[in-house]
Structure 1
């Protein structure tokens, strides 16, 4: 069985991501004892692997894997080993950035990742194909498998002394695309549709399948949208336009699906609904912005304004991916209703909006305040900390 309290370990990694992010924001006010670049690497690796991966592991196994298969597949052992390895990832990247120990721990993580994907696909092979939510999740896992090949290409390129070249940067952007636009996003969308399967079973599945195929077919070409700032972007423009058109068409299908939802959703938790609605808003904004990036005036902002890039990444990773995962933590009872979770939700959401607004207005050269950015980041730290202190539902 999946122990609900294990979610606290995932939230701890989320806390570390928020703490490191706040530390990086405050770097101009005091000397950071660890290297700045090392912390940047620790921030991203802990965010992707420590927080998003582990909480997705818990949620999708809780929903789709029976207790018998959980035991047979040794999912409990998988999760515990993954936590140990990820502790090594956090410490090694913080201390040395890319080096011997961080590469060893990252490799061990990938081995455990392969084990998990293999077991999950095997244990859900006989699940009804009519569950469209599972189709999204399986597609996400396949994209995840493909993404694991890219670090090897990045490593070889780096070993040849090509750091900083367009080839190296292109591989980095492609890897990130496969991570947060690929397997993370597809799994999160699958979890959203699982929510509909449970609470709004009458939704027209035709639009869902249209949406699935439009987004799936657009995914590989959409890599071009991440590379429009390169010198060879003219050769990618056709693929970028193709992806943008398909994604916007998919978004229209998604909005038609949302239109069928009742205004007042049924849910086991009102906080689950709050984060679900925030996910919907963030997802629509994310796809719209990504589609518009095909226009020169937009991709120039996207590639040459660091604050715009950070705002988009946070829109994707916090507003879209993390908020949907938190919604499921409440839905499954991993987080209960208490003073801690209510306060934590207010702090996390407030901090998210503050940082997004400051990053966006700063990128547009309208208004920027480092103090407000630090305050927003600190609010998110406090919010996640409140979640960790909160009792598990039913305790």
Structure 2
């Protein structure tokens, strides 16, 4: 039998490394650092998406939908192979950036994600196949696979057109879009609907069908928002706007769907998990509105010129929506506990760093005063992230050894 708490401990170890690398990246703007900024940035982003979030989501999917399939040995092999790829990227990216060995390990990771997707779809128990929760998770896995078109394209673009080509950035944004808006969001929604289904909440089939259609329509068409940075033809702006509107409608339908069972969710989720859930809900509204406004040429150009808007947005989705929801669900399924001290440090770190990142963007946009110690403050508040994650990781390790 697999101890999934151990797997979450591994994921949290990656999260701690991500937080430490985040502080290191801030220090580049404060003091001379004898390392390559881009190389550390690559390691930071790959470990965040493919180490912490990927392992957290796949562990949840395995526990909920696949643990009864009696395929623990195969799942363990997939887990070991996946971690070999992640560790390979963790070692090679800081040393060489995008080069032979890091590309080998990141390519192998793509095959690891295909392996897990195949494993999940092939071994899903029959009684889950027609559930709406699995429909969402299955779609998320296909978006995970589809997102890999981006990394596959990058190699060809670098070899033929170079990194200055618009297709280089477009390939990266393609990957990030289907990771954030497809794989992450739909997987988390699938887990949410599983909890509701398990506790007897029934929805009208027409409502679910409408929500699913709008959600997937939005995921596909908001991709056009990721290519507005190079000033494409007007039709691309229109398609992006259509996707943004569809996304607003999709999440409004989600709000309607969750309105009745909300009282149940309040009772079933722990107080700390519920706080994280509420924060993610509020910031999800902010995300949807930001994507809507980015469909207009002026705002799209502004986001391209002022990179802090993009950095703030990505951190908002990652640290403000995906991480809180995943932690709330891990807590619900008793794969980790959430210490009160972690919450305070994490929220303080998130609020202060996001405020500073967006302030810089607004300051350059609106001509607001830009204070001298900005980068020192940003680095100092960023130090709260590894403290928060360190508390969570220590608590997880302590509980793991106490239970064995």
Question: TM-score band (shorter)?
Answer: over 0.9
Q: Is the 8 A contact 2:30 2:375 kept in 1?
A: no
Q: Is the 8 A contact 1:329 1:335 kept in 2?
A: yes
Q: Distance in 2 between matches of 1:132 and 1:316?
A: 24
1:380 corresponds to: 385
Q: Is the 8 A contact 2:2 2:72 kept in 1?
A: no
Shift of 1:91: 0.9
Shift of 1:205: 5.5
1:156 corresponds to: 156
Q: Distance in 1 between matches of 2:285 and 2:130?
A: 25
Q: Is the 8 A contact 1:204 1:257 kept in 2?
A: no
Q: Distance in 2 between matches of 1:293 and 1:200?
A: 39
Q: Distance in 2 between matches of 1:268 and 1:277?
A: 11
Shift of 1:236: 0.7
Shift of 1:306: 1.3
Q: Distance in 2 between matches of 1:370 and 1:200?
A: 51
The Cα offsets for residues 3-23 of structure 1, whole Å up to 9 and x where unpaired, read as: 112211101111111111111
The Cα offsets for residues 305-354 of structure 1, whole Å up to 9 and x where unpaired, read as: 111111100111111111111111211222125xxx22112111211111
1:126-141 correspondence to structure 2 within 5 Å: 126-141=126-141
Q: Is the 8 A contact 2:65 2:128 kept in 1?
A: no
> Secondary structure of the equivalent of 1:266?
helix
Q: Is the 8 A contact 1:207 1:256 kept in 2?
A: no
Q: Distance in 1 between matches of 2:247 and 2:269?
A: 32
Shift of 1:211: 1.9
Distance 1:205 1:285, change over 3 A: farther
Shift of 1:275: 1.5
Give me the TM-score of the superposition, normalised by structure 2: 0.91
1:1-395 correspondence to structure 2 within 5 Å: 1-3=1-3, 4-71=5-72, 74-124=74-124, 126-199=126-199, 201-202=201-202, 206-263=206-263, 265-267=266-268, 269-336=270-337, 341-365=339-363, 366=368, 369-390=374-395, 391-392=398-399, 395=403
Q: Distance in 1 between matches of 2:238 and 2:207?
A: 26
Q: Is the 8 A contact 2:309 2:358 kept in 1?
A: yes
> Secondary structure of the equivalent of 1:236?
helix
Q: Is the 8 A contact 2:69 2:125 kept in 1?
A: no
- Bigger mean CA deviation after superposition, 290-299 or 317-326: 290-299
For the aligned residue pairs, the C-alpha RMSD in angstroms reads 2.0
Q: Is the 8 A contact 2:29 2:375 kept in 1?
A: no
Distance 1:199 1:356, change over 3 A: farther
> Secondary structure of the equivalent of 2:266?
coil
Q: Distance in 2 between matches of 1:200 and 1:280?
A: 23
- Structure 1 segments, 4+ long, off by >6 Å, are none
Q: Distance in 2 between matches of 1:352 and 1:306?
A: 18
- Bigger mean CA deviation after superposition, 10-19 or 129-138: 129-138
Distance 1:182 1:68, change over 3 A: closer
The Cα offsets for residues 249-296 of structure 1, whole Å up to 9 and x where unpaired, read as: 112212222322335712253222121112211212111211221123
Unaligned runs of at least 5 residues, structure 1:
none
Q: Is the 8 A contact 1:69 1:123 kept in 2?
A: no
- Bigger mean CA deviation after superposition, 16-25 or 194-203: 194-203
Unaligned runs of at least 5 residues, structure 2:
none
The alignment covers a number of residue pairs equal to: 391
Distance 1:17 1:233, change over 3 A: farther
Distance 1:193 1:301, change over 3 A: farther
